[in-house]
Amino acid sequence: MTVWVPTTSAKIILIVDGAVARDPKRRAILELSAMGAADVRFANEAAAAEMLARCSRDDVVLVLYSDLEAAERALAAGVPMTRLVIGHLPQGPGRTPMHPSVHMGPEDVHVVQRLEQAGVDVLVQPLPSDKAQRPRTRGGSTITTPPPSSPGPVAEPAIVRRPLKVVNARGLHLRAAHALAQLATSLECEVTLGLDGEIVNGKSLLGIATLGATCGTSVDVETSGAGAVAAMVQLEQLFATGFGEGVA
């Protein structure tokens, strides 16, 4: 919402997920997360094609799926699809990392192969600033080519962890979560947030909002990768100022 919408100039976001379409709470969070920049609509795979057909030719529509299987079902149901960008697939046993945010298992590989055979250009690109790459597959396994390492000395640890306190009166409500996700998205490194055993991607507005961190709560913040130390300094400053809302 915070990065892809302005990058694509999307005016309509169609979330193709029957479970989300039936969940009023999740719908409300996603509608609010657009911050008025786009019209958020919901459909299951079977209804998505008809809904897209009703859109104007001048509308830029960003279609989102919860997983690769949902995208394949939508394609089978008649949703036009020439390109599919994979933004997030979770870690898990037997899953190969293609990107810090994208881990593919054997079934994901098979789905990608079927989509490519159907003429869909499948890319891995969690953020517009990330270099798009194709998940090359062979014999049901992912083959990853690590990017060339940049020359120069390593001057900082790869992972930094800090407990950061929420100090604004309203806590991590939607507007504060938006400010946090926007900063995290601008950072090169990965950002994760933890609270009461739940871990979320710090670049995900929906993930941050679902933490329900109230004023006085201590959130476990972790930055990992290039620029982790400098990133943590910026995050500490944002928490300390109450996400721009002041200290309660």
Give 70-134 as a DSSP string: HHHHHHHTT---SEEEE--B---TTPEEEETTEEE-HHHHHHHHHHHHTT-EEEE-SSTTSPPB-
Tell me: the pLDDT tens digits for 54-108?
988 888 999 999 899 999 999 999 999 999 999 888 888 888 888 878 888 899 9
Domain ranges of the chain: 4-142, 159-240
3-state secondary structure of 204: coil
Lowest mean pLDDT among 36-40, 135-139, 186-190: 135-139
Lowest mean pLDDT among 6-10, 35-39, 68-72, 173-177: 35-39
pLDDT at residue 98, rounded to an integer? 83
First and final CA of the chain: distance in angstroms?
Answer: 28
Q: Is the pLDDT score of 37 beyond 50?
A: yes
CATH superfamily membership of 4-142? Phosphotransferase system, sorbose subfamily IIB component (3.40.35.10)
Burial of 37 (0-12, 13-18, 19+ CB in 10 A): middle
pLDDT confidence bin for 123, thresholds 50/70/90: very high
- Tell me the C-alpha to C-alpha distance, in Å, between residue 61 and each of 54, 72, 158, 171: 11, 18, 38, 32
Please tell me which residue, 130 or 153, carries the higher pLDDT value.
130
CA distance 223 to 113: 33
Query: What's the pTM?
Result: 0.60
Tell me: the pLDDT tens digits for 178-219?
999 999 998 989 999 999 888 899 998 888 988 989 999 999
What fold characterizes domain 159-240?
A: Histidine-containing Protein; Chain: A; (3.30.1340)
